[in-house]
């Protein structure tokens, strides 16, 4: 993975970005109660999707590939060009025996995991953003339960654009790195004699204003919808576990997992049984499950821990815009 993420020496879309997104996904699953809603396999799929979601990123946008007629654009027919490549190249890498971390996963589990990862990573294509938000708004408050694949895709998408919701030291650094990458693309477009993409012209782009707009129109609305989505999932889970503990929400249907797997539940024959040491080290409250820092108490509401940081960071950008320090993120 390190080799693939280092392939194009990207300032932003590199292994550190993948690690940052993976950590954010972990936080959202573990600290907001979603781990009680999904299986171990789905937790693994979420983390793996986050790790691979920008694998072998070229440091250029999908539109750049399409406008320049790259081999990658032709291979994927101009549809989610990079996102298709990230998934395809990672799974091809894992076909090598010494890199196959899924060797002990059963055929059925592999199909489920692969399908979920594909859906999640393809949903990080920003061209699907508004459609994704509209779909989720339609599910929230509906009598039907929220589709799990749509919810987990929303989590990864929000994690991917979440640095604006983190402390200024991190957000400003990530912004600086992203703009470096955008400006490198703009320089290439200028050299090729094609139109320079939005935010990629180092001579005209106003960084502060662009970040304020990105927060106002993309990040903040996305996290607001994500928070509403999590609230509904938690409400449904609390109602479900208080009435019929065996029920929960899976793919929009009531048919879920309990908060912990019973100790008598059979294990997949394709996964090695734990050693005595592993069994003894597991917390008695969660036999057979990944710990994920999860609490056995299901929160009633999403914490929406991002609200203050978004407001603070917008304030910082407004100060920078007012003083004209556009190039000092």
Annotated binding site for Zn(2+): 17, 53-54, 160
Q: 197 with 223: CB under 8 angstroms?
A: no
CB-count exposure of residue 89 (10 Å: 0-12, 13-18, 19+): middle
Annotation marks residue 36 as catalytic: no
Torsion angle defined by CA atoms of residues 291, 18, 21 and 84, in that order, rounded to the nearest 10 degrees: -110
Q: Is 9 helix (H, G, I), strand (E, B) or coil?
A: coil
**Annotated catalytic residue: which of 13, 26, 57, 85?**
13
> Which segments are annotated as binding site for AMP?
13-17, 54, 160, 211
Q: Which residues contact 35 (CB under 8 A, 6 or more apart)?
A: 29, 43, 290, 292, 294
> Which segments are annotated as binding site?
13-17, 53-54, 160, 211
Q: 277 with 174: CB under 8 angstroms?
A: no
Helices (H), the chain: 2-5, 15-31, 40-52, 62-68, 71-75, 81-93, 107-122, 129-139, 148-160, 168-192, 207-214, 220-243, 276-281, 307-323
The one-character DSSP state at 301 is S
CB-count exposure of residue 17 (10 Å: 0-12, 13-18, 19+): buried
Q: Which residues participate in catalysis according to the annotation?
A: 13
């Amino acid at each position: 993975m390190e080799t693939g993420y280092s392939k194009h020496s990207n300032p932003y879309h590199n292994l550190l970005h993948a690690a940052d997104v993976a950590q954010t996904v972990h936080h959202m699953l573990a600290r907001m109660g979603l781990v009680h809603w999904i299986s171990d396999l789905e937790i693994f799929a979420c983390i793996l999707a986050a790790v691979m979601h920008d694998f072998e990123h070229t440091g250029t946008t999908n539109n750049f590939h399409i406008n320049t007629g790259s081999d990658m654009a032709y291979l994927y027919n101009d549809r989610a060009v990079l996102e298709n490549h990230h998934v395809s190249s990672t799974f091809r890498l894992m076909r090598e025996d010494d890199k196959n971390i899924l060797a002990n996963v059963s055929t059925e589990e592999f199909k489920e995991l692969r399908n979920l990862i594909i859906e999640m990573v393809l949903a990080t294509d920003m061209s699907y953003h508004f459609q994704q938000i509209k779909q989720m708004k339609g599910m929230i408050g509906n009598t039907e339960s929220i589709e799990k694949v749509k919810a987990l895709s929303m989590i990864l998408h929000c994690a991917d654009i979440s640095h604006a919701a983190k402390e200024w030291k991190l957000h400003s650094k990530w912004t600086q790195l992203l703009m470096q990458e955008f400006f490198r693309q703009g320089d290439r477009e200028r050299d090729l004699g094609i139109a320079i993409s939005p935010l990629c012209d180092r001579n005209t782009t106003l960084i502060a204003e662009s970040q304020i707009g990105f927060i106002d129109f993309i990040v903040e609305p996305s996290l607001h919808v994500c928070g509403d989505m999590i609230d509904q999932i938690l409400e449904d889970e609390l109602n479900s576990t208080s009435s019929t503990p065996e029920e929960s929400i899976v793919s929009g249907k009531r048919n879920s997992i309990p908060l912990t797997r019973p100790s008598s539940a059979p294990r997949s024959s394709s996964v090695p049984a734990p050693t005595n040491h592993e069994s003894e080290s597991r917390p008695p409250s969660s036999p057979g499950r990944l710990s994920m820092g999860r609490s056995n108490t299901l929160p009633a509401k999403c914490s929406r821990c991002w609200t203050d940081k978004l407001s603070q960071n917008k304030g910082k950008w407004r100060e920078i815009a007012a003083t004209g320090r556009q190039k000092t993120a």
